[in-house]
Amino acid sequence: MASAPALRLTLFDLDHTLLDGDSDVLWCDFLMDLGVLDRALFAPRNADMERQYRAGSVSVQDFCAFYVSTLAARSRAAWQPLRRRFLDEVVAPRIPAAAHALVQRHHDAGDLVVLTTATNRFITELTAAHLGISHLIATECETTGEGETAGFSGRPTGTLNMRNGKVTRLQDWLAVRRIVLQECESTLYSDSYNDLPLLTAVRKPVAVNPDARLAAVAADRGWPVLSLRLLPQDMGTAADAASR
């Protein structure tokens, strides 16, 4: 009897991979533009955190804690209007048509598609839905209370979904579903050297718009390299959509 075909598991990083930009950085910029965050205080910290992330010098705890702290002292319900505006005005226009097409291609092939991101769940769950991805693994936020009235403490909780934490969180997520990563035909699309632990854990790593360090690793190991940059027609379509 022929054995059943291996499950095809396709993982997507979000920031600078499917999204032309970084969700955390864009969120801070969005809130500063609205006056929700003090620009004099947050702008230099935001820029420094982005620089350290790209250099690989920031700790996982410091990175996740800084961005989750922007949610402190408000409830899910209180943040909801701004979260929706953030998706519509900032995030959606920065997702190239090629990114949507790639996600859809893997859905059409019958793959189990998962979005895995270091950015927190509250910011990214609308993005996942916009992309048509129902499975999201993200950094979790500590809350008090239940449901939409739950308040954010401003602290992350659990295993943070960054670097080695992405491997741990994926393994835990798969275990609940009685899936073994090593038995899957697994693919990860990512732009960042910070994702090297997960890239080396899957069968098919794909470097998307890679940073310099990941590009060097990809060249050395013969990994595929893909570009999903926004094209001029994407920018025009996105601008039209945002104005409606």
Distance CA 113, CA 81 (A): 28
**Which residue type occupies 238?**
A
pLDDT interval class at 244 (50, 70, 90): very low
The two tokens of residue 115 are 């979005």
- Is 15 among the catalytic positions? yes
The predicted-structure confidence for 41-81, as pLDDT tens digits, reads as follows: 999 999 999 999 989 899 999 999 999 999 998 999 999 99
- Is 13 among the catalytic positions? yes
Question: E strands of the chain, at which residues?
Answer: 8-12, 112-120, 135-144, 151-157, 185-190, 204-208, 225-226
Residues 6+ apart with CB under 8 A from 232: none
C-alpha radius of gyration, the chain, whole number: 18
- Please check the confidence at residue 239 and state whether its pLDDT lies above 50: no
The two tokens of residue 45 are 């910290």
Domains in the chain with CATH codes? 8-243 (3.40.50.1000)
Residue 148 confidence (pLDDT)? 86
Instruction: Return phi, psi of residue 225, to 5°.
Output: -125, 135
Distance CA 173, CA 237 (A): 36
The two tokens of residue 183 are 């038995």
Residues 6+ apart with CB under 8 A from 105: none
Percentage of the chain beyond pLDDT 70 is: 92
The predicted-structure confidence for 105-160, as pLDDT tens digits, reads as follows: 999 999 999 999 999 999 999 999 999 999 999 999 999 888 888 899 999 999 99
- Of 147 and 240, the structure prediction assigns the larger pLDDT to 147
Mean pLDDT score across all residues of the chain: 92
From the number of C-beta atoms within 10 Å of its C-beta (0-12, 13-18, 19+), residue 105 rates as exposed
Residue 5 confidence (pLDDT)? 78
- Please check the confidence at residue 235 and state whether its pLDDT lies above 60: no
130: left (phi over 0), alpha (psi -120 to 50) or beta: alpha
Candidates 13, 24, 29, 191; catalytic one: 13
Residue 97: alpha-carbon gap to chain centroid: 17
Q: What Cα–Cα distance (Å) separates residue 47 from each residue in 24, 35, 39, 210?
A: 11, 17, 11, 20
DSSP string, 43-76: HHHHHHHHHHHHHT-S-HHHHHHHHHGGGTT-BH
